[in-house]
Amino acid sequence: MASYRIVSADSHFVEPPNMWSERIDQRFRDHAPHTVKNYKDREGEFFMCENIQPVAVAGFFGSGKSSEELPQHIKRGFDAAPGSVWNPSERLKEQDRDGVSGEILYTSMGMLLFGLDDPELRGACFKAFNDWAGEYCSYNPKRLIGTGTVTLENVDEGVKELQRCAKKGLRGVLIWGSPPEDKPYSDPVYDPFWAASQDLDMPISLHILTGRRGTRFSRRHVLRSYMTLPHEIQVSFADLVLGGVLERFPRLKLVSAENDISWLPHFCYRIDHAYDRLRHFEGTALPMKPSNYMKRQAWATFQFETENVGFTADKYGRDKLMWSSDYPHTDSPWPRSRDFIENEIKSISDQDKRGIVADNVLRLYGINLN
């Protein structure tokens, strides 16, 4: 396995608890995201902001804990956080321990802020995060490959923030995994943003837990909530394809992040079948089969779904699949990622494995580690 280079396509920053209060626009300081300890009758430290559901922060750095340890770990706070929360040089040490050469880094707590009801506060939070993330990744931009956060309540402002992220050295951005119901991604109002994204070559990610309506992830019903996470993302991709967005913007690059991959062949079958049988009800006409747009422009990350990698690579595209560690979140194999890849991903050739665990993500984001 030593010959394999590993680059995680979906890992995470963990924002320090005082980051927003220190960096957000002065007008929003009294409403900035923050943490509180022992919220109501629950032990632990909780991330809070306006209308979002309080979330225990320890879950954002639960990697390396066994499933039996997690219920107690979740009662901890930032006292249990790894050094990389504050120090990017510590992040490189964590990568080295895991045998990883680099990571695409997404926000952690910022994912929840996509559900904020106040669009101005949301935009101010995202700008503060983007400033911090750009500075963090500047320590080693080849190994710390940062993505920003952009809200699209005002598309023109979203374009400006996308451009600002690019200037800061961030390599892509997150947007709503599912937009407002009255403004789906098929709406031409978003076209200036798609155009800017393809012109800047900035991949756009749709990540779990980033819907406009909030995470809707219930700790009380954690198993059932977990099962629902990819659904909204699938609807968003259907809107992007059937609404002609990928036809109008053929160089737009989309990433399905942390939504697994086995659904992609079935999604392609179903969207083609729907188009074949039902398109005349809506007057939809595309030059290509809908599945061809997905296979051309949509990449996808996975973690543990190893048995189906070969099947999905054959049916969807081996150049569009990317393994991720999700470090330092609870659902991560760190610090055993190299062993995990060697022992669990067996249904593909060595050449395909090299692409899926590193080369595909490097090509997507234009990264040269040499």
pLDDT tens digits, one per residue of 302-361:
999 999 999 999 999 999 999 999 999 999 999 999 999 999 998 899 999 999 999 999
pLDDT reported for residue 1: 47
230 pLDDT higher than 90: no
Rounded Cα distance, 28 and 196, in Å: 28
227 pLDDT higher than 90: no
The pTM of the full predicted model, rounded to 2 decimals, is 0.95
CB 242 within 8 A of CB 284: yes
What mean pLDDT, rounded, does the chain reach?
Answer: 95
pLDDT by residue (tens digit) across 116-155? Answer: 999 999 999 999 999 999 999 999 999 999 999 999 999 9
Average pLDDT for residues 285-290, to the nearest whole number?
Answer: 98
- Residue showing tokens 């927003």: 20
Rounded Cα distance, 198 and 109, in Å: 27
Burial class of residue 370, CB neighbours in 10 A (0-12, 13-18, 19+): exposed
pLDDT by residue (tens digit) across 22-59? Answer: 999 999 999 999 999 999 989 999 999 999 999 999 99
Average pLDDT for residues 150-165, to the nearest whole number?
Answer: 98
pLDDT by residue (tens digit) across 256-275? Answer: 999 999 999 999 999 999 99
215 pLDDT higher than 70: no
- Asked whether the CA dihedral 96, 98, 100, 106 is positive or negative, the reply is negative
pLDDT reported for residue 3: 76
Residue with more model confidence, 272 or 229? 272
Confidence grade of residue 229 (pLDDT, cut at 50, 70, 90):
confident
